[in-house]
Amino acid sequence: MADVHAAERAAGRAKGAGAPVSAPRRGGRNLRTRLVEVAFLAPAVAYLLLFFGYPVVKNIVMGFQAYTTSTFYTGEAPWVGLDNYTAVLSSAVFDRALLNTVLFTAGSIVGQFVLGLAIAVFFRRRFPLSGFLRSLILLPWLIPMIAATAVWRWILDTDNGVLNRLLTLLPFVEVRPDWLTSTTLALVAVIGVNIWLGIPFNMTILYGGLQEIPDELYEAGALDGATGWRAFRHITWPMLRPVVTVVLVLGVVYTLKVLDVILGLTNGGPANSTQTIATLSYAVSFRQFDFGQGAALGNILVLLSLAFAVVYLRMNRRAVDE
């Protein structure tokens, strides 16, 4: 995303520089400013084509090819039309993976967003050590993902995990939930860990958004009797809306493609109960060496993100227009 903005800024700058010069005189000078404009654009365009355009196009093409280990040596990847997509869509795991992807994304986003927003609002009030505590919440962000998931695996272990040991210490609790080995609970556990990982991101951006809301609004609202929940409903929420949009769109796009959290915790198991399209794509490509089918799954994932982004941005534009 940052790169896209950089490109837009570069383009804007190029135009801004060119416009006043080209206005009074035309001809050779105009051509020259044109060239300068192009030259300013070129690095960004080259970067985008190289690091975004090429991989995307390559991945789309791979989805239509029988791309296997042999391809790397011989360079031959026969065209197979829609075979990869048929194979992937008709496999026994796909429906489960699609459902898991939706549940995982929805569950993670709702949890991360609600908790992140609650914490951001909480920290809006200043109190002793608030800055220190706020920075502590960023910790999950700083720990390497694989290390974090390894620790969570220990915490969630059925027999010796800290969580279950603590649970048994509580009165009236007799159960030891199989966090990572039950086909129903594993998805819940994975979503829980992903929420923990996502809170800092949501909190930081939402907190930034809250800082932008002028205090005068709250003061004026308080005079009219809008405090507490009503202040949040009628002042904070409407003012925060643009930031919320960004957080949600980015959140969904990031969560759809989450791989490391699931691989580290359950590897997609047990019995495919936490398999998502992203982990399935990884397994098909790098364990079964069927890169064509893996690419097809990747493309389906890209389509999903794209569809979501388009729908959400449209809905949002309509809301703003109203």
Burial code of 179-215, b = ≥16 C-beta within 10 A, e = fewer?
Answer: bbbbeebbbebbbbbbbbbbbbbbbbbbbebbeebee
Binds another protein (CB under 8 A): choice among 289, 302, 305, 308: 289
* Total count of residues recorded for the chain: 322
- Give the nearer residue to another protein in terms of CB position, either 182 or 316: 182
Q: DSSP for 292-306, please give it.
A: HHHHHHHHHHHHHHH
Other Cβ atoms closer than 10 A to 21? 13
Rule CB under 8 A: say whether 22 interacts with another protein: no
Rule CB under 8 A: say whether 16 interacts with another protein: no
Binds another protein (CB under 8 A): choice among 22, 30, 33, 158: 158
- Give the nearer residue to another protein in terms of CB position, either 236 or 279: 279
Q: Which amino acid is at 242?
A: P
Residue 41 CA, distance from chain mean position? 28
* Binding pattern for the stretch 44-63 against another protein, x by CB under 8 A and - elsewhere: --xx--x-------------
* Binding pattern for the stretch 107-146 against another protein, x by CB under 8 A and - elsewhere: ----------------------------------------
Rounded Cα distance, 194 and 7, in Å: 31
Rule CB under 8 A: say whether 270 interacts with another protein: yes
Q: Interface with another protein by CB under 8 A: which range of 141-149, 201-209, 219-227, 280-288?
A: 280-288
Q: Give the closest residue to 262 by CA, choosing from 156, 163, 149, 96.
A: 149
Rule CB under 8 A: say whether 227 interacts with another protein: no
Could you say which DSSP state residue 314 is in? H
Positions in the binding site for another protein (CB under 8 A):
35-36, 39-40, 42-43, 46-47, 50, 69-70, 72-75, 91-92, 153, 157-160, 178, 180-183, 266-273, 283, 286-289
